[in-house]
């Protein structure tokens, strides 16, 4: 995934927009008080325990600001950091380091927080044949980064957007006239992608299976009904559990026998990791 990121136009555009938002026409404070030729060094330091994710984005931030800035990364992506660990060292023009400080920290803290929360969910279902997946509940403009954080934390990416996966939700079903009708239309209209459909009860599970759904999303179902759905489907379709999943409930959900558990909280409720950037005069 790292190689794909580095050559992605979306990867570079995401960073460009973030820098434009923060720097705009320039860092006024640094221009006024820091000589242009002044060199400096900096360290990224973990201030708590967490899973590291997002250094490729940090490197791109400084590369976009000043190609002469040198970033030396000491810890691999996905590594379980401890408080006090030095993540990376950065050297170059002081103005460049200061210009990239906040954007790089914002990204690294958020993506590491997502990886850390994902790692916790994955740990809760250890030993069970189930995947922890993300959703589209991401911060606008940060989806690529946030889904990268989920992968780094050991989770699985669901579809990236509306364009790369067929997922028939409740509002689609309402407009289409029912689960079976919606699935049949999707299967007839597109033969290359798998068809997933969201259902709310066992009647809709039966309709989805009859219509040939590849994946059935069990939305906000009780553990008893989910287990019943697993027994009924008997592997004829993948089953995904969704809705009200937490660290305290995820293992019980996994024990019903579902194949996938999607967790919106991985991206919409992850707490940012605590990381500091300490700059010192001279590199």
The domain locations on the chain are: 2-122+270-281, 127-268
Known active-site residue 12:
no
Q: Which of 12, 43, 63, 102 is catalytic?
A: 102
Known active-site residue 147:
no
pLDDT tens, residue by residue, 131-188: 999 999 999 999 999 999 999 999 999 999 999 999 999 999 999 999 999 999 999 9
Known active-site residue 174:
no
Q: What is the pLDDT of residue 281?
A: 81
Known active-site residue 219:
yes
pLDDT tens, residue by residue, 21-67: 999 999 999 999 999 999 999 999 999 999 999 999 999 999 999 99
Residue 214 pLDDT greater than 60, yes or no = yes
Fold match flag (2-122+270-281 vs 127-268): no
Per DSSP, the three-state class of 199 is strand
Identify which of 280, 271, 276, 282 has the alpha carbon closest to the alpha carbon of residue 101.
276
Q: What is the pLDDT of residue 189?
A: 87
Known active-site residue 274:
no
Buried b (16+ CB within 10 A) or exposed e, 139-176: eeebbbbbbbbbbbbbbbebbeeeeeebbbeeebbeeb
3-state secondary structure 19-77: HHHHHCCCCHHHHHHCCCCCEEEEEEEECCCEECCCHHHHHHHHHHHCCCCEEEECCCC
Task: Domain 2-122+270-281: give its CATH superfamily.
Answer: Quinolinate phosphoribosyl transferase, N-terminal domain (3.90.1170.20)
Task: Domain 127-268: give its CATH superfamily.
Answer: Aldolase class I (3.20.20.70)
Q: 219 φ, ψ to 5°? A: -95, 120
Report the mean per-residue pLDDT for the chain.
Answer: 95
Q: What is the pLDDT of residue 240?
A: 98
Query: Residue 5's pLDDT band (boundaries 50, 70, 90)?
Result: low
Q: Which of 43, 47, 136, 137 is catalytic?
A: 137
Q: Provide the percentage of residues in the chain whose pLDDT is more than 70.
A: 97
Q: Which of 169, 231, 278, 280 is catalytic?
A: 169
- Bridge-based pairing state of the strands 86-93 and 260-262: unpaired
Q: Which of 27, 219, 240, 259 is catalytic?
A: 219
pLDDT tens, residue by residue, 223-261: 999 999 999 999 999 999 999 899 999 999 999 999 999
14's enclosing H/E stretch is helix 9-23
Residue 282 pLDDT greater than 90, yes or no = no
Q: What is the pLDDT of residue 95?
A: 98
Q: Which of 27, 198, 240, 259 is catalytic?
A: 198
- Bridge-based pairing state of the strands 195-199 and 70-73: unpaired
């Amino acid at each position: 995934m790292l190689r794909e990121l580095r050559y992605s136009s979306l990867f570079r555009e995401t960073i460009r927009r973030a820098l434009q938002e923060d720097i705009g026409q320039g860092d006024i404070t640094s221009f006024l008080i820091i000589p242009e030729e002044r060199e400096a060094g900096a360290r990224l330091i973990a201030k708590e325990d967490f899973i590291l994710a997002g250094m490729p984005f940090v490197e791109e931030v400084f590369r976009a600001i000043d190609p002469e800035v040198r970033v030396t990364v000491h810890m691999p992506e996905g590594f379980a950091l401890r408080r006090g660990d030095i993540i990376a060292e950065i050297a170059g023009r002081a103005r460049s380091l200061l210009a990239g400080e906040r954007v790089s920290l914002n990204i690294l803290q958020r993506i590491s927080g997502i990886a850390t929360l994902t790692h916790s969910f994955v740990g809760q279902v250890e030993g069970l044949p189930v995947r922890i997946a993300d959703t589209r509940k991401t911060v606008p403009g940060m989806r690529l980064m946030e889904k990268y954080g989920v992968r780094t934390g050991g989770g699985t990416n669901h579809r990236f957007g509306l364009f790369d996966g067929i997922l028939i939700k409740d509002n689609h079903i309402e407009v289409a006239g029912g689960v079976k009708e919606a699935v049949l239309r999707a299967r007839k209209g597109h033969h290359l992608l798998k068809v997933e459909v969201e259902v709310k009860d066992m009647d809709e599970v039966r309709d989805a299976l009859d219509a040939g759904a590849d994946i059935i999303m069990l939305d906000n179902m009780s553990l008893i009904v989910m287990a019943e759905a697993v027994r009924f489907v008997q592997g004829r379709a993948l089953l995904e559990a969704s809705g009200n999943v937490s660290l305290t409930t995820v293992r019980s959900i996994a024990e019903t026998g579902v194949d996938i558990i999607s967790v919106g909280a991985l991206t919409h409720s992850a707490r940012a990791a605590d990381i500091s950037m300490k700059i010192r005069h001279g590199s």
